[in-house]
A and B are shown apart, each in its own frame.
Chain A
Amino acid sequence: MDAAPNPLLAVDRLTIDIGGAKVVDDVSFTVAPGKVMALVGESGCGKSLTSYAMLGLLPPAARRTGGRIMLENTDLSAMSERQFRKARGKDISIIFQEPSASLDPLTTVGAQIAEAYRVHHGVSKTEAYRKARQMLADVGIPDPDRRLHQYPFELSGGMCQRIMISIALICGPRVLVADEPTTALDVTIQAQILDLMKKLVAERGTAIVLITHDMGVVADIADEVAVMYAGRIAEIAPVHALFREPKHPYTALLLASVPKLDHTPKADLATIEGTVPSPNEFGLGCRFADRCPLATGKCRNEQPPLFDCGGGHRSACWHIDRMSEVHEVAA
Chain B
Amino acid sequence: MSKTKNVLEIRDVAVHFGGRGGLLGKAGPVVKAVNGVDLDIGRAETVALVGESGCGKSTLSNTIVGLQAPVAGSVKISGEEVVGADRRKLNDIRRKVQMIFQDPALSLDPRSTVGATIAEPLIVRGVARGKQLKERVGTLLQQVGLRPEHADRYPHQFSGGQRQRVVIARALALEPDLVICDEPVSALDVSVRAQILNLLVALQKRTGVSYLFVSHDLGVVRHICDRVVVMYLGRFVEMADRDTFFANPKHPYTRALMSAVPEADPVVQRSKERLILGGELPSPANIPSGCAFHTRCLLATGICSRERPELTPRADGARVACHHA
**Are A188 and B260 closer than 8 Å at their CB atoms?**
yes
Partner of A240, one of B219, B224, B246, B266: B266
**Are A257 and B193 closer than 8 Å at their CB atoms?**
yes
**Are A191 and B259 closer than 8 Å at their CB atoms?**
yes
* Cβ-based interface call for B190 (8 A): yes
* Cβ-based interface call for A215 (8 A): yes
Partner of A266, one of B223, B260, B263: B223
Task: Give the residues in chain B near A258, CB-CB below 8 Å.
Answer: 190, 194, 219, 264
Interface pick from A8-16, A144-152, A267-275: A267-275
Q: A216-B269, A219-B264, A271-B198 are in contact. Are A257 and B53 (CB under 8 A)?
A: no
Task: Give the residues in chain A near B160, CB-CB below 8 Å.
Answer: 43
Interface residue SS majority, chain B: helix
**Are A216 and B267 closer than 8 Å at their CB atoms?**
no
Task: Give the residues in chain B near A275, CB-CB below 8 Å.
Answer: 159, 161-162, 192
Task: Give the residues in chain A near B192, CB-CB below 8 Å.
Answer: 275
* Cβ-based interface call for B189 (8 A): yes
Q: A186-B52, A259-B222, A271-B195 are in contact. Are A216 and B260 (CB under 8 A)?
A: no
**A292: shortest Cβ distance to chain B, in Å?**
12
**Are A255 and B223 closer than 8 Å at their CB atoms?**
no
Partner of A188, one of B224, B242, B257, B263: B257
**B205: shortest Cβ distance to chain A, in Å?**
9
**Are B263 and A216 closer than 8 Å at their CB atoms?**
yes
A186 to B190 CA separation, bound complex (whole angstroms)? 18
**Are A265 and B263 closer than 8 Å at their CB atoms?**
no
* Cβ-based interface call for A156 (8 A): yes
* Cβ-based interface call for A82 (8 A): no
Which chain A residue shows the least CB distance to B162? A275
A265 to B2 CA separation, bound complex (whole angstroms)? 32
Which chain A residue shows the least CB distance to B269? A219
**A182: shortest Cβ distance to chain B, in Å?**
9
**A272: shortest Cβ distance to chain B, in Å?**
4
Partner of B263, one of A158, A159, A219, A240: A219
Partner of A186, one of B191, B216, B220, B262: B216
Within 8 A of B (CB), among A238-291: 239-240, 243-244, 253-255, 257-261, 263, 265-266, 268-272, 275-276
**Are A191 and B276 closer than 8 Å at their CB atoms?**
yes
Bin chain B's interface residue count.
Answer: 35 or more
**Are A261 and B189 closer than 8 Å at their CB atoms?**
no
Within 8 A of A (CB), among B182-217: 189-195, 197-198, 201, 216
Total interface residues in chain A, CB < 8 Å: 45
Which chain A residue shows the least CB distance to B296? A188
**Are A270 and B276 closer than 8 Å at their CB atoms?**
no
Task: Give the residues in chain A near B262, CB-CB below 8 Å.
Answer: 190-191, 194, 214, 216-217, 219-220
* Cβ-based interface call for A42 (8 A): yes
Which chain A residue shows the least CB distance to B260? A191
**Are A265 and B219 closer than 8 Å at their CB atoms?**
no
A270 to B246 CA separation, bound complex (whole angstroms)? 22
A191 to B260 CA separation, bound complex (whole angstroms)? 5
Task: Give the residues in chain B near A261, CB-CB below 8 Å.
Answer: 219, 222, 246, 263, 268
Within 8 A of B (CB), among A170-199: 186-192, 194-195
* Cβ-based interface call for A213 (8 A): yes
A69 to B192 CA separation, bound complex (whole angstroms)? 33
Please name 17 pairs of A and B residues whose Cβ atoms are closer than 8 Å in the assembled complex, sorted by A.
A42-B189, A159-B280, A187-B257, A191-B260, A191-B262, A191-B276, A192-B277, A195-B276, A214-B262, A216-B264, A219-B262, A219-B264, A243-B267, A265-B223, A266-B224, A271-B194, A276-B189
Which positions in B face A, CB cutoff 8 Å? 52-53, 159-162, 189-195, 197-198, 201, 216, 219-220, 222-225, 242, 246, 256-257, 259-270, 274, 276-277, 280-281
Which positions in A face B, CB cutoff 8 Å? 42-43, 156, 158-159, 186-192, 194-195, 213-220, 222, 239-240, 243-244, 253-255, 257-261, 263, 265-266, 268-272, 275-276
